[in-house]
Structure 1
């Protein structure tokens, strides 16, 4: 059973990370649907705004407590590139992004007031409940899109596997929040935890490969190499000793972080030919930062 302080801190850290991830998933859907699908574009935009409002509220609450130094320093909530990639991607797509939230998040390191009150606990529980309600809407919406795509009734410039990838992350977040509402952390085996994130990292590499211009041969080769390495990690999880698989996962994740960081910088400087929005590069970098922090804490 989590204490009040643990419940508040864990809830806010999970929400700071995943609410931004989910709103960016919705931004991706919004900007990749075609003009005839105005109804679905509007739905993606509405759900995105819902998660922006939730994230804004989470940032307000996070300013009242002491977030873990490891989480704050990991660059999993925002990176030094997030604000710039938001502005550039919004400019390139014409879709709105609330960059004020990012500016406020960048100031979280300066939070000084630590109040784990009963009122704050109630507020966070309510925040979690509303987030869960919206997650149900997002999952239903994404499942509906996948069904329509599979029947060739709509066209979207996202891979079927990418839509499934977004849904898996949403479901993972939903499961985590449901457990937190019951004052406990999810009970997942080591391989379940590692395989989820190693799968995510491997699929990121596949998507990057598929979205790079054919002339970017070296970058595409590196992306394929990472996809293969993470696939091997998933296959070996049960067979290898815990310490060994953790260390392999940590090393490979650290390397793909460097690859994603360089890709984000290259896209911002217009040095890479691709159909990757700059914000998507920053998005997958944050996910790698999050996973790297989880692995490092598990090993230490």
Structure 2
């Protein structure tokens, strides 16, 4: 059974990463609708605002409570997040609260005295977890409805059907992780490695394919690089599934995935910088670049844990 201190820390670390991801999903949906569907814009904006409020409360509890490895990983914020938000807000007219990013930049790492036997903090985290589950479930239902309508030609959006399916899977994944924490389930490292590597290798492959498809047709070099990453991570996803079936050792897949994720993180960092500085021709919102970079950084931290063989 998960200890109280680990329950508190892991819950807040999870929300610092995923609540921001969910609020940005809502933003990407919001700006993708056409004028006819202004009601859906409003609905997506409401979800974005709800996740902003959730993140405010998570940040307020996180100072001195989350680990340095998470804060330093680039999965909570990157050196580009603030500028990406400002540029994306300017381009869309959507008010993105950059104060949250500034607050996250100031978070201090774990001080054990703040979490050991802190029953009041534990109760607040339980409430935040329940609130997050309700919110993520509602957002997943919204995404499911959108995907169904897009596939049945009842709705047009500038977001690929695969992107909507992609962000729906991420919402479901987040929900399941919160549920495990609420049940105080201990992490079994090897089992976790199989599940996470199958999931995130697929996510990295799809990121690469989205980037490829959103670049201007004249950006041949970047298109080819993105395409190569897409093929590489599709192969790694297949290998992860083989490892799950015990066909090949998970350690080999972890090592290969680590090398590939280091490289795609560098690529996404350069691309995000290029988008912010208007040096790349594309229809990629700067915040989408930073969003995919944070996901790569999150996966990179997990892979390093799996390689080392210890969660702590």
Q: Distance in 2 between matches of 1:45 and 1:236?
A: 38
Per-residue CA deviations over 1:199-218 (Å, capped at 9, x if unaligned) read: 00000000000000000000
Q: How far did residue 66 of structure 1 move? A: 3.2
Q: Distance in 2 between matches of 1:109 and 1:214?
A: 44
Q: Is the 8 A contact 2:271 2:289 kept in 1?
A: yes
Residue among 222, 231, 236 paired with 1:233: 236
Q: Is the 8 A contact 2:193 2:306 kept in 1?
A: no
Residue among 270, 273, 282 paired with 2:281: 273
Aligned residue pair count: 299
Matched, 1:260 2:259: no
Q: How far did residue 35 of structure 1 move? A: 1.1
Task: Check 1:58–1:189 CA distance in 2 against 1; reply closer, same or farther (3 A cut).
Answer: closer
More deviation in 148-157 or 170-179? 148-157
Q: Is the 8 A contact 1:66 1:114 kept in 2?
A: no
* SS of equivalent to 1:266: helix
Aligned CA RMSD, in angstroms, stands at 1.4
- The answer for the alignment partner of 1:222 in structure 2 is 225
| Structure 1: gaps of 5 or more residues | none
The TM-score normalised by the length of structure 2 is: 0.93
Q: Distance in 2 between matches of 1:185 and 1:50?
A: 29
Q: How far did residue 144 of structure 1 move? A: 0.7
Per-residue CA deviations over 1:127-185 (Å, capped at 9, x if unaligned) read: 00011001111011011111111121111001000000000000000000001001114
1:62-141 aligned within 5 A: 62-63=62-63, 65-109=64-108, 114-116=113-115, 117-141=118-142
Q: How far did residue 235 of structure 1 move? A: 1.6
The TM-score normalised by the length of structure 1 is: 0.97
- The answer for the alignment partner of 1:167 in structure 2 is 168
Q: How far did residue 114 of structure 1 move? A: 4.4
Per-residue CA deviations over 1:204-253 (Å, capped at 9, x if unaligned) read: 00000000000000000000000000111112232332221110000000
- The answer for the alignment partner of 2:214 in structure 1 is 211
* SS of equivalent to 2:153: coil
Q: Is the 8 A contact 1:20 1:51 kept in 2?
A: yes
Q: Distance in 2 between matches of 1:242 and 1:25?
A: 31
Per-residue CA deviations over 1:76-122 (Å, capped at 9, x if unaligned) read: 00011101100110000111211111110000037869422101000
Q: Is the 8 A contact 1:175 1:186 kept in 2?
A: no
| Structure 2: gaps of 5 or more residues | none
Q: Distance in 2 between matches of 1:170 and 1:112?
A: 30
Q: Distance in 2 between matches of 1:72 and 1:185?
A: 22
Q: Distance in 1 between matches of 2:126 and 2:2?
A: 13
More deviation in 228-237 or 208-217? 228-237
- The answer for the alignment partner of 1:290 in structure 2 is 298
* SS of equivalent to 2:108: helix
Q: Is the 8 A contact 2:68 2:110 kept in 1?
A: no
* SS of equivalent to 1:158: coil
* SS of equivalent to 1:19: helix
